[in-house]
């Protein structure tokens, strides 16, 4: 059994055996100001776990920042970094054991909504940040808000956007601008013939989960309705999206994409081979270090337009505090202090971590509006409004436990891959995926 399969099996077994419900029991202490109490000072440790950031400089900044906060408050802070693909299985293990880190960070969709029974209510932290830095965005609410009881399972920290990243000289050579998904297919076929295929993963990771949702939405399909009550995936719009994905795979991509991880498409374009990827700017930042000539030729654009809309999935990032945490109060206070220094965090990520509170990073945003390391300096400026063409997993409805599980189980990725490889027709793949979603929705609706 592969590591990925084992992680999925462990996660599924936990979700089944633990009997998760949608009713969260809040044990969060109510704090009126970010002050360190005697009770918190007596608890000398604060532990947290988060994914190993694709911009390593951010992890270095964060570790130093957390340690400095701990020193000021006489608290030993430990930050553990794990590979992004291990986040879901680690969360399942800690919740199942009722023991682990105080603060847990999720990258990708499958987290806070699934584990709300095990997490304290973060309304106090969200309210503190909104009061100082403006209203949380729609994406932010989707990340951690529970509309049924108006609680927050997690503190929404940032989202990761997925713009188009393309080799301008190569697309200019074939006379195509990658503005629409049909442009990507037509131009990508020409470029594949020249040895520069399109690189969009059909494997199991965040990148394809976000990108193929974007294709689905752009063609008018969706997993659920606006109310978040009904699976609507089995539609002619979804079939058209899958037919497009099949054509794109056969005409413009390499079969290697079937086994790609989140790092693979970065490496593909950074090497100078790929003509196009849908990816956060980490791929561009790496290219700047490894291959500056290629980096200068990588341009950034909004996601391609589809027949119905222009929209792409986003990878949400959030912090939860377990209700079995040993130092809940310190965790809450650290997150408030972190929010008060969020512009520093944004700069440390080189513009990768995108804000979800209205005024937490004033516009024009540093780095994105004017990046001296980029040619031209405003190459990344369009990312300042990426929330206008980005959406979280539940779109067009709210994100909740069922949509998180659909994401974690890679149902949309597998739907596209089954049709692309000829294992199923587009119609069969959509029907299969809809059945998978309906089973997941039915399970969670009966637990509500």
pTM: 0.90
Q: pLDDT tens-digit profile of 278-337?
A: 999 999 999 999 999 999 999 999 999 999 999 999 999 999 999 999 999 999 999 999
pLDDT at 108: 85
How many residues does this entry show for the chain?
448
Locate 399 and state its tokens: 């994100």
Q: Are 331 and 261 part of one and the same domain?
A: no
150 falls within a domain:
yes
N-terminal to C-terminal alpha carbon distance within the chain = 33
* Domain region containing 239: 164-312+409-447
pLDDT at 448: 60
Distance CA(132)–CA(337), nearest Å, equals 12
pLDDT at 289: 95
Distance CA(329)–CA(411), nearest Å, equals 38
Q: Are 108 and 202 part of one and the same domain?
A: no
Q: Are 441 and 351 part of one and the same domain?
A: no
DSSP characters over 143-197: HHEETTTTEESSEEEEEE---EEEEHHHHHHHT----BHHHHHHHHHHHHHTT--
Q: Are 304 and 369 part of one and the same domain?
A: no
Tally of domains within the chain: 2
Regions in the chain scoring below 70 on pLDDT: 1-43, 448
CATH number of the domain that 243 lies in? 3.40.190.10
Compute the radius of gyration of the chain from its Cα atoms. Answer: 21
Q: Are 273 and 419 part of one and the same domain?
A: yes
pLDDT at 11: 52
């Amino acid at each position: 059994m592969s590591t990925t399969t084992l992680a999925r099996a462990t996660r599924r077994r936990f979700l089944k055996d633990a009997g998760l419900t949608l009713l969260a029991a809040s044990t969060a202490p109510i704090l009126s100001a970010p002050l360190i109490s005697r009770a918190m000072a007596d608890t000398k440790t604060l532990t947290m776990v988060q994914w190993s950031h694709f911009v390593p400089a951010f992890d270095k900044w964060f570790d130093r920042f957390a340690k400095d906060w701990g020193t000021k408050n006489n608290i030993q802070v430990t930050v553990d970094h794990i590979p992004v693909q291990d986040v879901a299985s680690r969360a399942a293990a800690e919740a199942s054991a009722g023991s682990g880190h105080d603060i847990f960070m999720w990258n990708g969709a499958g987290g806070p909504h699934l584990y709300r029974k095990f997490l304290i209510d973060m309304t106090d932290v969200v309210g503190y940040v909104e009061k100082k830095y403006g209203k949380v965005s729609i994406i932010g609410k989707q990340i951690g808000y529970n509309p049924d009881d108006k609680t927050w399972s997690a503190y929404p920290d940032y989202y990761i956007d997925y713009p188009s990243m393309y080799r301008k000289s190569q697309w200019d050579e074939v006379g195509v601008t990658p503005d629409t998904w049909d442009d990507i297919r037509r131009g990508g076929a020409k470029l594949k013939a020249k040895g520069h295929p399109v690189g969009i993963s059909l494997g199991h990771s965040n990148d394809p989960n976000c990108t193929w949702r974007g294709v689905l939405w752009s063609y008018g399909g969706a997993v659920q309705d606006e109310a978040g009550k009904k699976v609507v995936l089995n539609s002619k719009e979804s079939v058209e999206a899958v037919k497009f994905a099949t054509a794109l795979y056969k005409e413009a991509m390499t079969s290697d994409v079937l086994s790609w991880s989140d790092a693979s498409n970065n490496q593909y374009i950074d090497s100078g081979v790929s003509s196009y990827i849908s990816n956060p700017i980490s791929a561009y930042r790496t290219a700047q270090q490894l291959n500056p000539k290629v980096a200068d030729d990588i341009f950034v654009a909004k996601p391609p337009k589809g027949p119905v809309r222009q929209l792409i999935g986003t990878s949400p990032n959030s912090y939860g505090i377990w209700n079995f945490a040993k130092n809940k109060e310190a965790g809450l206070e650290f997150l408030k202090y972190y929010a008060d220094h969020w512009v520093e965090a944004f700069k440390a990520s080189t513009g990768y971590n995108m804000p979800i509170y209205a005024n937490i990073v004033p516009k024009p945003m540093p780095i994105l509006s004017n990046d001296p390391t980029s040619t031209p300096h405003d190459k990344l400026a369009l990312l300042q409004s990426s929330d206008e063409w980005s959406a979280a997993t539940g779109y067009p409805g709210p994100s909740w436990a069922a949509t998180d599980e659909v994401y974690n189980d890679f149902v949309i990725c597998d739907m596209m891959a089954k049709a692309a490889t000829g294992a199923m027709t587009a119609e069969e793949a959509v029907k299969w995926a809809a059945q998978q979603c309906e089973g997941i929705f039915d399970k969670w609706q009966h637990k509500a």
